[in-house]
Structure 1
Amino acid sequence: MNGKYKVLFVCLGNICRSPSAEAVFREAVDKAGMSGKVEVDSAGIIGYHAGEGADPRMKRHASQRGYRLTSISRPVIAEDFNRFDLIVGMDDRNIRDLRRKAPADGRAEIRKMTDFCTRFDETEVPDPYYGGAAGFERVLDLLEDACDGLFRYVSRQAETER
């Protein structure tokens, strides 16, 4: 293996969905003993929350499931499209924005988080920012499901491409 397979999770502001996806996925990678083969990060389409930690409500809900949200918000930058192998957006708008931001020579595959769901049939991970507790719980439900499918996908990629 020449290097790690690198996954970047992206949502609008990088304070709810993408840091949660990063934590859920990192947990799966660590449990499988693959942290030496897979690198995980998160970013936002916008830089409004740059330098901030995750939303306290999201942190609280994630903590109740055993996840620690430790990432610091940052915006997606042009270099991300060549540094990462896979960039995973949370909704259709994120995907459109990522494709618009991607440089012509960007090599990263861009996929939507729900592409990897196996139990739920939602087409997007909804933004819980303006909602209540149920929204944060729903996000975690979807992310846990999608991260299971994503882990299987990334495991195959990490083994065959490296």
Structure 2
Amino acid sequence: MSKKKILFVCLGNICRSPSAEAVMTAKLKELDLSEHYMVDSAGITDYHEGGAADHRMQQHAAQRNYKLTSISRPFKTPNDFANFDYIIGMDDQNMSDLRAMATNDEQLSKLHKMTDYSSRFTYNEVPDPYYGGAEGFELVLDLLEDACDGLIKKLEDE
């Protein structure tokens, strides 16, 4: 059985998408499903390419036992469309940018929004915590934990 490949995408790949990658990786490991999935993250932009996740996001994630180890990279067209089964954007602007990069219906069909998998929260986006305070980073983690649970359930039900 081939692995399902998931790519989480936000603007700069230093807060939300590396956190989604870490949360998803931890949850898959906890459920003994890691061997069935490959998880990565990327940014719409290359502003932070080669850099680690935002130190504030790392601190908040560490308090929940998540390790943000990924290195920022931009979304690569057409490679990422070819290499991933699910490309999951964090907000409406990410989704709009990803749709603009897609060149066919197959690529468009791989695009999903993170909050579509939420069950406990009614947010329609994972807000960017970069310019906010601690509560923004905590909210991002709450939303990602909820949405990752829903995403795993959907994928395992397929």
TM-score range, shorter chain: over 0.9
State the partner residue of 1:7.
6
Question: In the alignment, residue 85 of structure 1 is paired with which amino acid?
Answer: D
Aligned-pair distance for 1:31?
A: 1.2
- The yes-or-no answer on 1:92 pairing with 2:60 is no
Question: In the alignment, residue 14 of structure 2 is paired with which amino acid?
Answer: I
Question: In the alignment, residue 120 of structure 1 is paired with which amino acid?
Answer: F
Alignment of 1:137-152 (within 5 A): 137-152=138-153
Per-residue CA deviations over 1:66-124 (Å, capped at 9, x if unaligned) read 10000000000111011100000000000000011123253761110000000000000
Is the partner of 1:150 in helix, strand or coil?
helix
- The yes-or-no answer on 1:19 pairing with 2:27 is no
Aligned-pair distance for 1:36?
A: 1.2
Identity of aligned residues (%): 58
Which whole-Å CA distance do the structure 1 matches of 2:29 and 2:60 have between them? 21
State the partner residue of 2:81.
81
State the partner residue of 2:116.
115
Is the partner of 1:151 in helix, strand or coil?
helix
Query: Please, what TM-score do these two structures have when normalized by structure 1?
Result: 0.93
Which whole-Å CA distance do the structure 2 matches of 1:39 and 1:82 have between them? 14
Which whole-Å CA distance do the structure 1 matches of 2:61 and 2:16 have between them? 11
Which whole-Å CA distance do the structure 2 matches of 1:83 and 1:13 have between them? 20
Cα distance change, pair 97–14 in 1 and its aligned pair in 2 (3 A): same
Which whole-Å CA distance do the structure 1 matches of 2:27 and 2:155 have between them? 11
* Structure 2: segments with no counterpart, 5+ residues: none
**Counterpart contact for 2:99–2:108, Cα < 8 Å:** no
Aligned residues: 156
Is the partner of 1:139 in helix, strand or coil?
helix
- The yes-or-no answer on 1:40 pairing with 2:45 is no
Query: Please, what TM-score do these two structures have when normalized by structure 2?
Result: 0.95
State the partner residue of 2:137.
136
Aligned-pair distance for 1:33?
A: 1.4
